[in-house]
Amino acid sequence: MNILLVNDDGITAPGILCAARFLSQKHNVVVCAPESEQSAVGHGITLRFPLWVRKLDINEPFEMYAVSGTPADCVKIGLDVIYKDKGIVPDVVVSGINRGENLGTDVIYSGTVSGALEGAIAGVPSLAVSVADFKDPIYETAALFLLKFLEEFDLKQIPRFTALNINVPSIPYEKIKGWRLTRQSKRRYEDYFEQRVDPYGRKYYWMLGDIIEDDPDPKADYKALAQGYISVTPITIFMTNEELLKELEAKYHGDKDIR
């Protein structure tokens, strides 16, 4: 397979290198990643500035390009410039392996997920892959799973505008119990700010948050991980709240006057 590999931790991050080395054992891999860390950039794109692309001189069985932009920029450049020059469309976009999980509300902040969603918009089957440990992540487990998953899962099952959000426990591969289909949960953060004063007398604030895990859904993404499973959640870019739309339509019939 031809694999476009992106991330949001930046091109020098260990997670993307681990993914590239594992995947290139069996596949043709092109790495196209932000030259600097882009965590929690969300689905940003660079419109007001142009993008610079630099091919790195590396001694590896894959190509590596550093882009002066976000994960979504990297997917666009990867598809519309790098792969276009080769005359091929890649078979899959892989975004990751991210340092830290992307569960619940993380999904909308995550540059890793946005890389996969950008591939999904372009019509290429796409996976976001994260390891659920920020401190000392075991990337090899996720990389091994990725190799196996790409062999066994028929990517054609993923429709356009949808991607798979995969989260892997940070434990040795042989301790993983399996993978499980899950739903994006209500896992979220109770934010608070720590106030400090800088050397120039100005107040500034560090954002902190406590994790809230109170989703009653047994399919909640984070529950799979807590039980030693890899979570696989199909996510779409279409965010319409269909239930509320139906409710409101029943209440407000047809077009509403504003005079």
Which residues within the stretch 135-174 sit at the binding site for its own copies (CB under 8 A)? 145, 148, 157-159, 161-162, 173
Minimal distance in Å, beta carbon 51 to its own copies? 5
Minimal distance in Å, beta carbon 206 to its own copies? 5
In the list 20, 77, 129, 150, the residue contacting its own copies (rule: CB under 8 A) is 77
In the list 2, 12, 21, 51, the residue contacting its own copies (rule: CB under 8 A) is 51
d(CA 27, CA 91): 10
Any contact of residue 105 with its own copies (CB under 8 A)? yes
Contact status, residue 193 vs residue 142, Cβ threshold 8 Å: no
Nearest residue to 75 (alpha-carbon basis) of 27, 6, 1: 6
Instruction: Give Rg (Cα) of the chain.
Output: 20
Any contact of residue 117 with its own copies (CB under 8 A)? yes
Q: Does 130 carry a binding-site annotation? A: no
Q: What is the DSSP letter of 231?
A: E
Minimal distance in Å, beta carbon 60 to its own copies? 23
In the list 2, 21, 28, 108, the residue contacting its own copies (rule: CB under 8 A) is 108
Any contact of residue 11 with its own copies (CB under 8 A)? no
Minimal distance in Å, beta carbon 102 to its own copies? 11
Single-letter amino acid, residue 142: A
Any contact of residue 44 with its own copies (CB under 8 A)? yes
In the list 135, 156, 202, 218, the residue contacting its own copies (rule: CB under 8 A) is 202
In the list 25, 58, 88, 192, the residue contacting its own copies (rule: CB under 8 A) is 192
In the list 1, 12, 171, 234, the residue contacting its own copies (rule: CB under 8 A) is 234
- What is residue 58's three-state secondary structure? coil
Single-letter amino acid, residue 104: G
Q: Does 39 carry a binding-site annotation? A: yes
Nearest residue to 95 (alpha-carbon basis) of 54, 38, 157: 38
Nearest to its own copies of 24, 114 (CB atom): 114
- Tell me the window of 13-21, 27-35, 58-66, 194-202 that interacts with its own copies (CB under 8 A): 194-202
CA distances from residue 122 to 80, 89, 115, 176, 233 in whole angstroms, order as listed: 10, 10, 11, 32, 19
Rounded (5°) CA angle 179-220-169: 45
Minimal distance in Å, beta carbon 129 to its own copies? 14
Minimal distance in Å, beta carbon 235 to its own copies? 4
Contact status, residue 168 vs residue 141, Cβ threshold 8 Å: yes
CA distances from residue 85 to 6, 79, 80, 82, 221 in whole angstroms, order as listed: 18, 9, 8, 5, 38
Annotated binding site: 8-9, 39, 98
